[in-house]
Chain A
């Protein structure tokens, strides 16, 4: 199975700053079928990005995804207060679907 490693574990930033989150796969992700989710305490995960770079419906354009094969990045151009949360990457190009361990974006 494909192991996804996210880095860093925690990102301490201030509102208005740029956040760059990494997701590295143990082998190439077929079709660049890589998604990013946002997770807040007590809430269901929210799909942000799918197919590595496509924004899901209703997602602000400050969220962008890039990458292919084994290296993927989620960028939040200017952090808003509501963006402080945990972010997970997931690959769905091969079975079993797998998730990364998450990156927590916290207020500095």
Chain B
């Protein structure tokens, strides 16, 4: 069965960086893209961008351009999301989510990771 297992909770100080991992199993990793979404307390979800696991190309939401980097490692079927220059309003649960359709047929996600809480506090 499809599983996306994310790394554990992180605490960072303002200005630092965080890198979240997402280990995929149960499907052909290199055929699908991965969305990254976050949800801050009391707010709706927010999309950070997506990365293609078949060619490594990433597309970032303009709001996060320059601060976010998404990568994949097909040898370990793991996706990564790094966010830099953290601020207190980056405190949120961060999710990876597999695309429903292979080769970016559409960008909707079917399976999601369990989420990683990132807390930014001085």
| Interface size counted on chain B using CB atoms at 8 A | 24
Cβ of A38 to closest chain B Cβ, rounded Å:
11
Docked pose: A47 CA to B35 CA in angstroms: 14
Is there an interface contact between A102 and B44, defined as CB atoms closer than 8 Å?
A: yes
Confirm or deny: A63 has a beta carbon within 8 angstroms of a beta carbon on chain B: no
- A101 contacts the other chain (Cβ, under 8 Å)? yes
**Does chain A have a CB within 8 A of B106?**
yes
Contact partners of A101 in chain B: CB under 8 A: 43-44
Q: What is the interface of chain A, defined by CB distance below 8 A to chain B?
A: 31, 33, 35, 44-47, 50-51, 56-57, 88, 90, 92, 95-102
23 A-B pairs (CB sep. < 8 Å): A33-B107, A33-B108, A35-B108, A44-B111, A45-B95, A45-B112, A47-B100, A47-B108, A47-B109, A47-B110, A51-B106, A56-B100, A90-B45, A90-B108, A96-B63, A97-B35, A99-B37, A99-B46, A99-B47, A100-B44, A101-B43, A101-B44, A102-B44
Q: Please name the 4 residue pairs, one residue from A and one from B, whose CB atoms are nearest each other, closest first.
A: A44-B112, A97-B47, A96-B61, A99-B45
Binding site for A on B (CB under 8 A): 35, 37, 43-47, 59, 61-63, 95, 97, 100, 106-115
